[in-house]
Structure 1
């Protein structure tokens, strides 16, 4: 299973130059806690960072700084961790665990943004798969009972 099959392809994004109030308004409008920060290059959105509502609170608001003096680029994380859309779900989980990230942009071969995957999204996916797996044992018993009744 490739992560590209399951990622959220409706990604809310910001540019480095966007003000923090604008970013907060986007988060509120779309009910998200993070924005992928992109540079637009030749019409492609290339992810360069992530900014979260927590970043805004910890880096600016909690320090009583003027929120209007900062842009998204000023507070976004310094290193972006992303995953290729062809990579597997378990590879993605391992990478997220190793890097300590709960959200990860999904990119195509050219590095362009195609989606977003969060730890919560992966938990939902795995829960669905586990539910399907749990249905195997009762069906196996039904199949065995039918086979046994045909033989007697």
Structure 2
């Protein structure tokens, strides 16, 4: 049985503004119990971006930077790497591995963002693979 991204993605996409203080984005992530947010396009920010818990660890904590002095655009990752809803989970896992990332936005056939998939979702996928094996 082939598992697709559609079967395992979270269909919640939370957007934040690139000029939002990082502390506000952190509060949004904490309150919603999520590990990533999508950075919206604006006139000054023509491409979507992503801010993840890994970005927080690598670009703030490890570098001992003050998040109160930073805007989201200062530490976001852009441009996005995205996957499609009909992609296999195996291919999705390969994309994460090749790009050394843990969160992927999911697009539908019209290129609209419709969800997120993260490395932790693969725990459940692997468990399901063992059951159908």
Q: Same fold (TM over 0.5)?
A: yes
Distance in 2 between residues matched to 1:119 and 1:110, nearest whole Å:
25
Structure 1: stretches of 5+ with no match in the other structure? 41-45, 134-152
Q: How many residues align?
A: 129
Any residues of structure 2 matched to 1:3-152 within 5 Å, and which? 3-39=5-41, 48-133=48-133
Contact (CA 8 Å) 2:47, 2:78: kept in 1 or not?
Answer: no
> Equivalents in 1 of 2:69, 2:77: separation in Å?
18
Q: 1:94 to 1:66 in 2, by over 3 A?
A: closer
Per residue, is there more strand in 1 or in 2?
1
**RMSD of aligned alpha carbons:** 2.5
Quote how far apart the aligned CAs of 1:114 are: 0.4
Larger C-alpha radius of gyration, 1 or 2?
A: 1
Could you state the TM-score of these two structures normalised by the residue count of structure 1? 0.71
How far apart are the structure 1 equivalents of 2:60 and 2:123? 31
Listed one character per residue, the Cα deviations across residues 120-139 of structure 1 (whole Å, up to 9, x for unaligned) are: 10221221231233xxxxxx
Q: Deviations over 1:84-117 (max 9, x none)?
A: 1121211111111111111111012332210111
Gaps of 5+ in 2: none
The TM-score with structure 2 as length reference comes to 0.79
Q: Distance in 1 between matches of 2:110 and 2:130?
A: 34
Greater helix percent: which structure? 1
Q: Which residue of 2 aligns with 1:144?
A: none
Aligned 8 A contact 2:37 2:51 in 1: yes
Distance between the aligned counterparts of 2:47 and 2:113, measured in 1? Answer: 6
Q: Structure 1 CA distance, aligned partners of 2:104 and 2:122?
A: 11
| Structure having greater relative contact order (Cα 8 Å, sep ≥ 6) | 2
